Amino acid sequence: MLVSEILAIKGKVLYTIAPNRSLAEAVAIMTEQDVGSLVVFDHGRMAGLLTFREVLGAVHAGGGNWQATAVEQAMLRDPLAAAPDMELDELRRLMVDRHQRYLPVMDGGTLLGVVSFHDVAKAVLEEQSFENRMLKNYIRNWPAESDEQG
């Protein structure tokens, strides 16, 4: 399975935020939309990625004033990105090795979407379920041994 297929299943809805917006606004968007990441766009290009991990780091560092912190101060700059033609196994390895739960999917300079570790797990389950159904169907329809042997 390819990253582009995961995006097709998931849908390509993107949630973005400008780097000069506050973390309070970012948390409100993430909570309302039930997403774990926002792509940070600056002048039409991806500048970074904000996830709950970065938000929690900013809360810890900023104490009671975290809400006013600008997104650009907390975001992950130049995040690792996946390509649409990347295989699922390569994507999983990359996410695990780099400890990154969210990966933007880039086709050259164009952002196609964001895949999460949850999206990957769901795709793996669906792929395994499909394979199981195919194997069970194959076994069920296995030709019986003929009695003429012997």
Domain boundaries, position 15: 3-140
150 domain residue, yes or no:
no
Q: What is the per-residue DSSP string for 51-116?
A: EHHHHHHHHHHHGGGGGGSBHHHHSEES---B-TT-BHHHHHHHHHHHT-SEEEEEETTEEEEEEE
148 domain residue, yes or no:
no
- Domain at 24, CATH number: 3.10.580.10
User: CA end-to-end span of the chain, whole Å?
Assistant: 45
78 domain residue, yes or no:
yes
What count of other Cβ atoms lies within 10 Å of the Cβ of residue 49?
23
pLDDT value at 149 more than 60? no
pTM: predicted TM-score of the whole model, two decimal places: 0.79
- Which tokens in the block code for residue 10? 């998931």
pLDDT bin (cut points 50, 70, 90) of residue 81 is very high
86 domain residue, yes or no:
yes
136 domain residue, yes or no:
yes
- For the chain, the domain total comes to 1
Is the model more confident about 34 or about 109? 34
82 domain residue, yes or no:
yes
**Each residue of 3-31: pLDDT tens digit?**
999 998 887 788 999 999 999 999 999 99
**What was the pLDDT predicted at 134?**
76
Tokens 């041994």, residue? 145
